[in-house]
Amino acid sequence: MKRFLQFTILLAIAASATAASPPPSAPVRPVVDDYFSTKVTDNYRYFEDLKNPEVQKWMKAQADYTRTTLDALPGYPKLLKRIDELDSSEPAQVSGVQIVAGRYYSLRVPADAQSPKLYVRDGIKGEDKLVIDPEKIPGNDKSHFTIHWFRPSPDGRLVAYAISAGGSETDMVLHVFDVTSSKDLPESADRLDQDISAPFWLPDSRSFFYSRDQKSPAGTSAAKQRENKQVYLHVIGRSFDEDSSVFGRGVNANIALTPVEFSEIATAPNSHYAVTYISPGSDEHLRVYTAPLSAIRKGNVKWRPIAASYDDRYIAGDDSDNPVIALTGDTLYWLSRKNAPRGEILKLDLSRTDSKPQVAVAQGELPISAVYSGRGAIYWRVNDTGANSLHRLRLAKDAQPETLILPYPGDVADVSADGASDAATVFLSSYLRSPAYMDVDGQTGKLTDDGLQPAGPYDKPDDLAVDEVRVKSWDGTLVPMSIVHKKGIKLDGSNTAMITGYGAYGISVTPFYVPGMRSWYDHAQIFAFAHVRGGGELGEAWHKAGFQQTKANTWKDFIACAQYLVNHKYTRSSKLFAWAQSAGGILIGRALEERPDLFAVVVDRVPLSDTLRFETTANGPDEVPEFGSVNDPEGFRMLYAMSSYAHVRDGVKYPPVLIYAGANDQRVAAWVPAKFAARLQAATTSGKPVLLRVDYDAGHTGFDATRAQVASNTADMIAFALWWTGDPEFQPK
């Protein structure tokens, strides 16, 4: 608290000073590319070398000016303090629950901590015991360390986990923690990146499967470094560099992989089989094979195809970055859309070589988006405009599917089930209350708050309501929008409103509320969520309607939703604040360019704004399945239409824009938002600022950010929005 008060005093001093002059514009050095006879000029190609001292100096000057400008807003210190109070009001922020043999592991950020720590409790009512504390790692005071993922061994004695500094997702290091001695084992592995998820243990609790990048010569590009990943079998007690590859490109003669495909091998605690998943990148479809664990150990494995082609439409879930493992005993369950556009759940008995897939859960009227398994049941969620219903099928003779009754409407973000018992917990979020974990009664299926996420004083606001509407888009399509607002507001156009959207990868914009959001409602009235095409709110067809050739629907839907708020007098243009992030940068950037008059202020966080050059980045090849490639004419046309950077027009009166960049971002390299900021600064004639905010201790969209970073990110965005929507507390002196 003392450090926080010192910080607010410094902000107060800054607020009393005159803001510094804007730094000089970036020099224009045109490079002309010829894409299939279409010439495109890139004025800031040299930004792509982030080691260039000139680029570093420009970005640092931009970051300093943005910091000075925002800190000088009169209401900023009070806002930041309020956000800190709200975030600290929760006894703990809990995520990532895993149940292993009756033990509940979770990542928890206590009220007095900055980063998630790993805890375990024996049974749902047990006391949480600290296992791993990243804040105790030497050097954490210079660049914060974060646990990215973890997986306990079946016997609970060991925990495999990955950690990195500064929010980086390419400098992760895999460690194995001995719970008994409270120390890391001597062996560790580097060359992990964002595609690689937690290892899967074998039943012996002494070995696990894990994925790793190959060693690359010095000077290898970031994209090339991530090619040809391999899956290894590690045995506790030996060096990771001694491990042999058991799956990957060139390892299995009958399974061909491209350099950019990556894979992992998954296990389940009560199964004799392993399942390998092959992903092409951002596409949610997978290729899938299975084999007995004993054969993999012996090295004479012959993988059995479950889905040998992506056309088999084996679906991991909403997002292939986090495949849902639905293996229980010797039966594999999966979500398929091959013969059912809205999804059906198939099952296969792996113990019989002559077995055929059978339908376990038939297609319904609404799309199935994920399937999970435990020892005695499978669970699946069904989408309805971002919110979910939850269903269960107990694995007993003559059992029938059940619909589990959620205590309130919301998003089923995760189901964690124990492979050794009937224990299961559901992570549920809502527009009107903070996320909570719900225990599932093994017999009745009743959901009750299990106390894993302790309640805080601001978790259940009683002054908010939700309007669910359908907005007619440019082509007549009805687009869902959720409008959260203060109760009793007058629809007279006087309210300040925030609107956000995403529209990519088939990922849904789902209900969420956290106490820190009260800082927005303290000053404004409305927060709208546009469920645009390209997302998964209404199934795969909704995704494909905002995909590649149809991508323009994504930002046109967003424009229609923003216009709806104005037309129905929720707000007016001079009070309308729009923001998005990451792949949502396509949506927000193109909406800004097509309708600069519609928005009072725009925030664009780590945006994928230069789609024509994105393929050269570390993450670029993974995005080809979603957006296309510049290496063919049709791909170029699609990516050119999506490019916010390419469509900035000189002489346009753009609204004020705040653009975020993370120095350690490997999903959207920092030069991508930096180029967009430079181009907008040079083009706009409105006299309103285009600010570039650079966090030098952060990665992508605040992933793995500290509590202080989250508070700062939120305060900057809200303060900037309130400044340009006319809030008296935020007008510069």
User: Which of 406, 373, 374 has the alpha carbon at shortest distance from 388?
Assistant: 406
Element at 33 (helix H, strand E): strand 31-35
CB 610 within 8 A of CB 625: no
Name beta bridge partners: 440. 447
Question: Is it the case that residue 563 has pLDDT exceeding 90?
Answer: yes
Mean pLDDT of the region 467-478: 98
pLDDT value, residue 60: 97
Structure tokens at 416: 């964690």
Name the DSSP letter for residue 282. Answer: S
Mean pLDDT lowest for which of 519-523, 582-586, 617-621? 617-621
pLDDT value, residue 546: 98
Question: Is it the case that residue 689 has pLDDT exceeding 50?
Answer: yes
Structure tokens at 648: 């900035």
Q: What are the CA-CA distances from residue 490 to residues 455, 469, 471, 521, 588 (Å)?
A: 32, 17, 20, 15, 28
Query: In the chain, what are the domains?
Result: 2-86+459-730 (3.40.50.1820)
Residue 370 CB contacts under 8 Å (≥ 6 apart), including other chains: 317, 318, 324, 335, 380, 381, 415
d(C-alpha 168, C-alpha 194), whole Å = 9
CB 144 within 8 A of CB 114: yes
Question: Is it the case that residue 644 has pLDDT exceeding 60?
Answer: yes
pLDDT value, residue 1: 35
Give the three-class secondary structure for 586: helix
d(C-alpha 584, C-alpha 605), whole Å = 9
pLDDT top residue among 512 and 677? 677
Average pLDDT of the chain, as a whole number: 90
Highest mean pLDDT among 323-327, 405-409, 412-416, 571-575: 571-575
Mean pLDDT of the region 332-351: 93
Element at 215 (helix H, strand E): none
pTM of the model: 0.92
> Across the beta sheet with 145-152, what order do the strands follow?
145-152, 158-165, 172-178, 183-192
- Percent pLDDT > 90 in the chain is 72
Give the three-class secondary structure for 42: strand
d(C-alpha 368, C-alpha 125), whole Å = 32
Tokens 């490079």 -> residue = 31
Q: What are the CA-CA distances from residue 493 to residues 489, 506, 526, 566, 569 (Å)?
A: 10, 33, 11, 7, 4
Confidence of residue 323 (pLDDT cuts 50, 70, 90): low
pLDDT top residue among 1 and 532? 532
CB 558 within 8 A of CB 502: no
pLDDT value, residue 688: 97
Element at 590 (helix H, strand E): helix 584-594
Sequence-ordered strand ranges (E) for 473-575 = 478-486, 497-500, 526-530
pLDDT value, residue 161: 94
CB 730 within 8 A of CB 75: yes
Q: What does DSSP say about strands 657-662 and 690-695: parallel, antiparallel, or unpaired?
A: parallel
Give the three-class secondary structure for 385: coil
Q: What are the CA-CA distances from residue 46 to residues 359, 490, 555, 695 (Å)?
A: 55, 50, 29, 21
Question: Is it the case that residue 9 has pLDDT exceeding 70?
Answer: no
**pLDDT tens digits along 358-396:** 999 999 999 998 899 888 899 999 988 878 899 999 998
User: Which of 42, 60, 100, 35 has the alpha carbon at shortest distance from 670?
Assistant: 60
**pLDDT tens digits along 514-534:** 899 999 999 999 999 999 999
User: Which of 199, 194, 155 has the alpha carbon at shortest distance from 174?
Assistant: 199
Sequence-ordered strand ranges (E) for 179-296 = 183-192, 200-201, 207-212, 230-235, 244-248, 262-266, 273-279, 285-292
The DSSP code sequence of 173-210 is EEEEEETTTTEEEEEEEEEE-TT----EE-TTSSEEEE
- Percent of residues in the chain assigned helix, strand, coil, to nearest 5: 25, 30, 45
d(C-alpha 436, C-alpha 94), whole Å = 9
CB 500 within 8 A of CB 530: yes
Element at 669 (helix H, strand E): none
Q: Is the alpha carbon torsion for 155, 156, 158, 163 positive or negative?
A: positive
Degrees (nearest 5) of the Cα angle 634, 537, 507?
A: 60
d(C-alpha 17, C-alpha 253), whole Å = 69
